[in-house]
């Protein structure tokens, strides 16, 4: 049934952590959708690998349940499942045992014989980060990744937990693999609305002349979630909002907004342009951190009528935990284009609503020609890119209110993804898995990008580590975070922007 229109080479996908949450909610549903869209190679096979015991067919039933709950497509599941599922199997294995890797090598050989040609292999580390180096080393030792053109290894975040550990990990991987084999995922880069930033900026002549400190006053990035850590306490205790969201997703968004135009869409060209932004971001000295970064932790409370337990009461969290569930930072990109333009970023759990928003606020137009009363609601132009859950771009400008007087009012011009394309855009993991299969690393983090991003947040991590918070918990669920975050942006005369209801 799958008449693959693409000519992708046969591919075997091994998912370490095949019985885990990511495989269940994201990876298998994404592969299922790629199959429907005929983006999987004609010859493919998926192995989930894990410790969990499944009896015959139990794994497939489990995966099917995940797909029926989390795939963006639910129609004709039974029919499609019949042709999709024969190419999935489960390997119960101890990942520390040599036999596991010998078995994998045998499985590759059997498939290649069956297909009558060489296969590409993808090894997806959907496991606790501390296990990934061990697995990678065993893959290397068993020569499963010997051919750099045919084998790819995918790493989920976090990639390291600070600058030093990320560098060590890069060095280790560098001794075993070619950089082009390594795919470090930042799932934000797979989101349609994030990729569209490149189209918005570089496929339109309109914005580029205005895209600099000459016309842009400041930039805001909000990535807010309305849920708490929800049982992920033990992971989160080793992370915190700065590591979990700022070091990766948010700094990547800063790069997309601030980068120069690439001369081509070649992976390294785009990644070089982003790296330039990371290099230019001002490193705060430790004693500057308190003026430019704010942290918070939520107490117990309510969001949308649902009770949220305090972070420190979560399972796996120490009662007086100093770990931040909210972070806001002011950055500067010290280059010609962005001289003195502040980039305010904030992210938090248990906030008032789920909303990922980029706001580009332009400098105010001179008001001279209008009488003061005309412009009581005078507002600067603003471009708001809403990444999720609403997917839209809105441009605010001043309009004349109908009537005999010249009264001005800000209005929005809105481009809405759902109106234009329906609400069935590919999920980030579909795009990213497809890119790995195709061997396109554009949307993945290169070693130097990861390190540069750690370098930027390292002083903040250190300053916060040296001075434990004294006021945690300091914000209630259902709010926009601690008061200090308002003060951070208010000092420069601004407010955080939220989407109109
Ligand atoms: C992950 C973080 O990278 O991103 C999670 O580890 C967070 O803590 C998630 O909830 C948010 O992703 P999204 O796509 O829902 O914005």
Strands (E), 335-451: 342-348, 355-362, 382-388, 392-400, 408-416
- The rounded distance, in Å, linking the Cα atoms of 270 and 199 is 13
User: For a pocket test of ligand 1, which of 244, 327, 388 has the largest count of ligand atoms closer than 8 A to its C-beta?
Assistant: 244
Q: Which residues line ligand 1 (CB under 6 A)?
A: 225, 244
Per-residue confidence (pLDDT) for residue 405, from 0 to 100: 87
Please state the pTM of the whole predicted model: 0.95
3-state secondary structure 201-227: HHCCCCCHHHCCCCCEEEEEEEEECCC
State the distance from the centre of ligand 1 to the C-alpha of 501, rounded, in angstroms: 23
Per-residue confidence (pLDDT) for residue 6, from 0 to 100: 62
Indicate which atom in ligand 1 lies nearest the CA of residue 388: 16
Indicate which atom in ligand 1 lies nearest the CA of residue 249: 3
Active-site annotation, residues? 249
User: For a pocket test of ligand 1, which of 249, 250, 354, 356 has the largest count of ligand atoms closer than 8 A to its C-beta?
Assistant: 249
Alpha carbon nearest to ligand 1 atom 10, residue: 225
State the distance from the centre of ligand 1 to the C-alpha of 333, rounded, in angstroms: 25
State the distance from the centre of ligand 1 to the C-alpha of 249, rounded, in angstroms: 9
Per-residue confidence (pLDDT) for residue 501, from 0 to 100: 67
State the distance from the centre of ligand 1 to the C-alpha of 64, rounded, in angstroms: 23
- The rounded distance, in Å, linking the Cα atoms of 177 and 318 is 38
Among candidates 265, 14, 26, which has minimal Cα distance to 154?
14
- Token digits for 378? 């005078």
User: For a pocket test of ligand 1, which of 161, 184, 187, 229 has the largest count of ligand atoms closer than 8 A to its C-beta?
Assistant: 187
Give the Å distances, CA to CA, from 405 to 373, 374, 398, 402, 409: 10, 8, 15, 8, 12
Question: Are residues 48 and 19 in contact, defined by beta-carbon separation less than 8 angstroms?
Answer: yes
Strands (E), 148-265: 151-155, 182-184, 216-224
Question: Are residues 138 and 131 in contact, defined by beta-carbon separation less than 8 angstroms?
Answer: no
Alpha carbon nearest to ligand 1 atom 15, residue: 225
Alpha carbon nearest to ligand 1 atom 13, residue: 188
Per-residue confidence (pLDDT) for residue 378, from 0 to 100: 80
Per-residue confidence (pLDDT) for residue 375, from 0 to 100: 73
State the distance from the centre of ligand 1 to the C-alpha of 487, rounded, in angstroms: 26
State the distance from the centre of ligand 1 to the C-alpha of 386, rounded, in angstroms: 16
Question: What are phi and psi for residue 291, nearest 5 degrees?
Answer: -85, -15
Indicate which atom in ligand 1 lies nearest the CA of residue 244: 6
Indicate which atom in ligand 1 lies nearest the CA of residue 428: 14
Per-residue confidence (pLDDT) for residue 3, from 0 to 100: 42
Indicate which atom in ligand 1 lies nearest the CA of residue 157: 3
Please return the burial class of 117, using the count of CB atoms within 10 Å of its CB with bins 0-12, 13-18 and 19+.
exposed
Domains by residue range for the chain, with CATH: 11-156 (3.40.50.720), 189-427+446-490 (3.30.360.10)
Alpha carbon nearest to ligand 1 atom 14, residue: 188
Segment-wise mean pLDDT, segments of 10 residues, the chain, 501 residues: 64 97 97 96 96 92 97 94 96 96 97 97 95 96 96 95 96 97 97 95 96 98 96 92 97 98 95 98 96 98 95 95 98 98 98 97 86 80 95 94 88 94 90 96 96 98 96 97 97 91 67
Question: What are phi and psi for residue 83, nearest 5 degrees?
Answer: -95, -20
Per-residue confidence (pLDDT) for residue 4, from 0 to 100: 46
């Amino acid at each position: 049934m799958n008449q693959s229109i693409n000519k992708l080479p046969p591919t075997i996908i091994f998912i370490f952590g095949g019985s885990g949450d990511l495989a269940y909610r994201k990876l298998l549903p994404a592969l299922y959708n790629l199959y429907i869209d005929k983006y999987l190679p004609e010859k493919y096979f998926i192995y989930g690998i894990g410790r969990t015991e499944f009896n015959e067919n139990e794994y497939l039933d489990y995966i099917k349940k995940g797909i029926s709950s989390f795939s963006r497509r639910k129609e004709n599941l039974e029919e499609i499942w019949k042709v999709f599922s024969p190419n999935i199997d489960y390997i119960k294995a101890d990942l520390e045992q040599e036999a596991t890797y010998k078995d994998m090598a045998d499985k590759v050989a059997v498939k290649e014989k069956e297909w009558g040609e060489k296969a590409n292999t993808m090894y997806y580390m959907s496991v606790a980060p501390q296990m990934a180096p061990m697995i990678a080393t065993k893959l290397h030792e068993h020569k499963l990744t010997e051919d750099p053109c045919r084998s790819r290894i995918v790493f989920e975040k976090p990639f390291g937990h600070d600058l030093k550990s990320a560098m060590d990990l890069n060095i280790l991987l560098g001794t075993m693999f070619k950089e082009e084999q390594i795919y470090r995922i930042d799932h934000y880069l797979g989101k349609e609305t994030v990729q569209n930033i490149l189209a918005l900026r570089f496929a339109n002549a309109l914005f580029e002349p205005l895209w600099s400190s000459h016309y842009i006053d400041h930039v805001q990035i909000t990535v807010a979630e309305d849920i708490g850590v929800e049982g992920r306490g033990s992971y989160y205790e080793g992370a915190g909002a700065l590591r979990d969201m700022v070091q990766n997703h948010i700094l990547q968004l800063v790069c997309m907004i601030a980068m120069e135009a690439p001369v081509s869409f070649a992976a390294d060209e785009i990644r070089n342009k982003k790296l330039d932004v990371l290099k230019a971001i001002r490193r705060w000295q430790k004693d500057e951190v308190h003026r430019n970064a704010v942290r918070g932790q939520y107490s117990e409370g309510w969001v949308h009528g649902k009770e949220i337990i305090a972070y420190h009461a979560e399972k796996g969290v120490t009662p007086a935990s100093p770990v931040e569930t909210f972070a806001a930072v002011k950055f500067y990109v010290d280059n010609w284009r962005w001289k003195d333009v502040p980039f305010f970023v904030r992210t938090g759990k248990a906030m008032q609503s789920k909303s990922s928003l980029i706001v580009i606020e332009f400098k105010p137009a001179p008001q001279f020609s209008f009488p003061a009363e005309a412009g009581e609601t005078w507002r600067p132009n603003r471009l708001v890119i809403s990444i999720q859950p609403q997917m839209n771009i809105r441009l605010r400008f001043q309009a004349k209110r109908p009537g005999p007087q010249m009264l001005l009012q800000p209005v929005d011009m809105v481009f809405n993804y759902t109106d234009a394309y329906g609400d069935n855009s590919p999920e980030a993991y579909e795009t990213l898995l497809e890119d790995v299969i195709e061997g396109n690393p554009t949307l993945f983090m290169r070693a130097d990008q990861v390190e540069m991003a750690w370098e930027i947040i390292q002083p903040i991590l250190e300053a916060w580590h040296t001075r434990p918070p004294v006021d945690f918990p300091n914000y209630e669920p259902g709010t926009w975070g601690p008061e200090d975050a308002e003060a951070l942006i208010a000092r420069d005369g601004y407010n955080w922007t939220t989407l109109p209801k």
